[in-house]
Structure 1
Amino acid sequence: MARSKEFEVNEVLDKAIHLFWAQGYEKTSMQDLVEFMGIHRRSIYDTFGDKHALFMKALERYETKQTSKMRFLIEKQKPIKELIRELFEATVRNEGEPLGCFLVNSGVELGVLDPEVASLVDESYSRTEELLTNLVLKGQQSGEFKNDLDPVVISHYLMNAWLGLRTLVKTTTDQQKLKNIIDMTLTALD
Structure 2
Amino acid sequence: MPRKPSFDRDDLIERARDIFWRRGWAGTSLKDLEKTLDLRPGSFYAAFGSKDALYELAMDKYANDGVIRLKELADTLGPLEALKSHPKLVIQNTENAAKACMLAKTFVELHIHRHPLAARANEHLAKMQSLISDLFTQAQAAGEIGSQHNPAQLGRRYQSDLLGLRVSAERDDIDAAAIADEISSSLGNL
Could you tell me the TM-score, scaled by structure 2's length?
0.89
The structural deviation recorded for 1:179 is: 3.2
The structural deviation recorded for 1:93 is: 1.1
Q: Find the counterpart in structure 2 of residue 112 from structure 1.
A: 112
Q: Find the counterpart in structure 2 of residue 145 from structure 1.
A: 145
SS of residue in 2 equivalent to 1:143: coil
- What is the total number of aligned residue pairs between the two structures? 188
Runs of 4+ in 1 over 6 A off after TM superposition: none
Q: Find the counterpart in structure 1 of residue 86 from structure 2.
A: 87
The structural deviation recorded for 1:45 is: 0.6
Give the stretch that moved more between structures: 22-31 or 64-73: 64-73
Residues 14-53 of structure 1 deviation map (CA, whole Å, 9 limit, x = unaligned): 1111111111111111111111111211111111112122
The structural deviation recorded for 1:3 is: 2.5
Please say if residues 133 and 151 of structure 1, whose CA atoms lie closer than 8 Å, have aligned partners that are also in contact: yes
The structural deviation recorded for 1:176 is: 4.5
Please say if residues 161 and 185 of structure 1, whose CA atoms lie closer than 8 Å, have aligned partners that are also in contact: no
Structure 1 residues 51 and 164, CA gap change in structure 2 (3 angstroms): same
Write the distance in 2 (CA, Å) between the matches of 1:184 and 1:72.
21
Unpaired runs of 5+ residues, structure 1, are none
Write the distance in 1 (CA, Å) between the matches of 2:43 and 2:80.
46
Q: Find the counterpart in structure 2 of residue 186 from structure 1.
A: 187
The structural deviation recorded for 1:112 is: 2.5
Q: Percent identity?
A: 23
Residues 87-115 of structure 1 deviation map (CA, whole Å, 9 limit, x = unaligned): 22111111333222222221121123244
Superposition CA RMSD, Å: 1.9
Structure 1 residues 166 and 175, CA gap change in structure 2 (3 angstroms): closer
Could you tell me the TM-score, scaled by structure 1's length?
0.89
Unpaired runs of 5+ residues, structure 2, are none
Q: Find the counterpart in structure 1 of residue 30 from structure 2.
A: 30
- Map 1:50-129; keep pairs closer than 5 Å: 50-78=50-78, 80-96=79-95, 97-129=97-129
Please say if residues 91 and 166 of structure 2, whose CA atoms lie closer than 8 Å, have aligned partners that are also in contact: yes
Please say if residues 158 and 185 of structure 1, whose CA atoms lie closer than 8 Å, have aligned partners that are also in contact: no
The structural deviation recorded for 1:185 is: 4.3
Write the distance in 2 (CA, Å) between the matches of 1:59 and 1:176.
25
The structural deviation recorded for 1:184 is: 5.5
Structure 1 residues 155 and 86, CA gap change in structure 2 (3 angstroms): same
Q: Find the counterpart in structure 1 of residue 165 from structure 2.
A: 165
Write the distance in 1 (CA, Å) between the matches of 2:177 and 2:18.
27
